[in-house]
Structure 1
Amino acid sequence: MKTKVSLLTSVLHHRLHSKSLNFVGSLPHFYPLSHPQIHFTDSAKQQDDQLAICVHDSRAQVLDQFSWIPISKIHTESNRKHETDKQDDDDIWLIMKDEARSDVDQEPILSDYYSRSILSHHTLESALSHHLSTKLGSSSLPSRTLHDLFMDVLTGDQDIVGAVKDDLKAVKERDPACLSYVHCFLHFKGFLGCQAHRVAHKLWSQNRKILAVLIQNRVSEVLALDIHPGAKIGSGILFDHATGVVVGETAVIGDNVSILHNVTLGGTGKSCGDRHPKIGDGVLIGAGTCVLGNVRIGEGAKIGAGSVVLKDLPARTTAVGNPAKLIGGKDNPVKLDKIPSHTMDHTSHIEFYDYVI
């Protein structure tokens, strides 16, 4: 009997021993810094060696000997940024609702407005459909009809919803005048005009062109920017101020582009076909600029305010003037080392001279 008890005790001890090592080896959150040579494996010999170290005197003494830090503290900056961006994308609607509650606490007089526009809605799609339809509704095109139309398009195309979130983040990150996501959502007509265009472009691509042009017209009347529903626009777009922006039918705007007010992406006459500019990713276009014709603006390029661009612009270069010329000259243009649409830097690498009028 004693022999059986001893055998049973030995088996239990072995199993508990193995399970404790497996548990310690599977801990995901900590690294032992004072013994970097230790690596937990499935090898029985290595487990025994590790156990001999860990139980040198007692478990409490071992814990005193080790310095422990969370793995999250040694993640790279890129990993942290990726996780933060993903979390922001997932939580942006919840953040907006929190911002709305905070605004109402500060200004109770706005409680009804914020309730109708943000707090009474369960999704970003619903809130955006309501807000755009309220802005653009008219006697000939009631808000209720527009709301149903916008809601149908937004719920049917999650790519558009993703672009809406990217645009919100772009405005918040690049425009120092933007107080919050909800501030942009409710009041920035460049953002609202861009989202209305996304709906109109979807309708245009479905050959519902009459309805698409009607939305374009209402946006032009109410928000003072005119984007043809045939134009293709990427995500992460900032239309800063947006008053007077005109974008032609065959224009293409890439991702993460920043465009200021009174910018025209137009044609050069009444010729048909592909006749409007193609704007690459990361481009910054200054206020009052005209880019005319089927020209290509390379990615990461910058165009100074008041310029008139009639020819292709190489990537990561700067053009200014009327007609626009490359900074540094055509043969050796100055190359930008940062993405101008993100920095919103309108003056670096531009030489200034004294003018006599």
Structure 2
Amino acid sequence: MSNKSSSNPYNLCNNAHVSVEEVWIQIRDRAQEIADCEPQLTALLYDVILNRACLGAALAARLSRKLSREEMNREELTPLLEGIFVSHPQVTLSAAADMMAIYDRDPACQSPLEPMLFFKGFLAICTYRVAHHLWNSERKPLALYFQSICSEVFGVDIHPAARIGCGILLDHATSVVIGETAIVEDNVSILHEVTLGGTGKESGDRHPIVRTGVLIGAGSKILGRVEIGQCAKVGAGSVVLADVPEHVTVAGVPAKIRGKANTPAMDMNQCFESGQI
């Protein structure tokens, strides 16, 4: 496999046109509606949402409930997470863009609040964002700790050095693996059991590049420093070992071009298109 880098610039969180404050208002309003009619959820909603001053603090509270354990309890974890989300607005903005991507693309999601409370794919990508911040801040052992806990709790293993843009949908998310040198641009949809992996024992840039607007179907394996072109679609269960042009659908083992693709990450359309390349 080639140890190549792309000559084209990367689109990483350049399209996060989301108002964090507007997302926060929607989340609070929906949380209050649920708290008024579901008494069993009231304590959770007040702890995570209604008693918090901003979206960053709410994200910290939700993750601390999920990730705390004996070696790092909630009292230690909450201020660490809140310091990252509140003091580094880009991390919170990225999470808000992910939240709205789920709300826009997943018909099972009825409000932006649901990913924060119930969707482990969203919670996993938030945990990655914390770990990535720590990795870039030269706190690599702590970043790897969060990677490990994310794998345990959510069944999602994303190396903290991976570079992932905004507006990411990890749908169901179970068994998603993203390797150390992988690059995933903005507005990508990834279903469960997807691997963005390396091959062999080579070092350096050895994981895939996934361009903006790509849809990767369930169970697909993309291996090596291959590039998946903008708005391409990878069919479920495929094994991709070579570059994929933009705006095509590939499928099979090994994956081959089967048709065209338009805006697959947004449409979430898993079917092959009728037009052949």
Is the pair's TM-score, using the shorter chain for normalization, greater than 0.5?
yes
* Partner Cα separation in structure 1 for residue 140 and residue 124 of structure 2: 18
* Partner Cα separation in structure 1 for residue 205 and residue 87 of structure 2: 29
Aligned-partner residue type, residue 125 of structure 2: C
String of CA shifts for 1:77-96, please: whole Å, max 9, x gaps: xxxxxxxx76x653110111
* Equivalent residue, structure 2, for 1:302: 233
Q: Does residue 255 in structure 1 map to residue 179 in structure 2? A: no
* Equivalent residue, structure 2, for 1:13: none
* Equivalent residue, structure 1, for 2:86: 155
* Equivalent residue, structure 2, for 1:209: 140
Query: If each structure's helix is expressed as a fraction of its own residues, which one has the higher value?
Result: 1
* Equivalent residue, structure 1, for 2:3: none
* Equivalent residue, structure 2, for 1:347: 271
Contact 2:195 2:220 in 1 (8 A): yes
| Aligned-residue CA RMSD (Å) | 1.4
TM-score, length-normalised on structure 2? 0.90
SS in 1 for 2:98: helix
TM-score, length-normalised on structure 1? 0.71
Change beyond 3 A, Cα 1:151–1:319: same
Match of 1:223 among 151, 154, 158: 154
* Equivalent residue, structure 1, for 2:212: 281
Give every structure 1 segment of 4 or more consecutive aligned residues whose post-TM-superposition deviation is greater than 2 Å.
Answer: none
* Partner Cα separation in structure 2 for residue 90 and residue 122 of structure 1: 11
Q: Percent identity?
A: 45
* Partner Cα separation in structure 2 for residue 106 and residue 177 of structure 1: 21
Structure having the higher Rg = 1
SS in 2 for 1:326: strand
Match of 1:133 among 64, 78, 89: 64
* Equivalent residue, structure 1, for 2:121: 190
Aligned-partner residue type, residue 278 of structure 1: I
Give the deviation of 1:145 after TM superposition: 1.6
SS in 2 for 1:149: helix
Aligned-partner residue type, residue 343 of structure 1: D
* Partner Cα separation in structure 2 for residue 304 and residue 210 of structure 1: 36
* Structure possessing the higher relative contact order (Cα contacts under 8 Å, 6 or more residues apart): 2
* Equivalent residue, structure 2, for 1:94: 25
SS in 1 for 2:236: coil
Uncovered stretches (5+) of structure 2, i.e. residues with no partner: 1-16
Uncovered stretches (5+) of structure 1, i.e. residues with no partner: 1-84, 328-333, 352-357
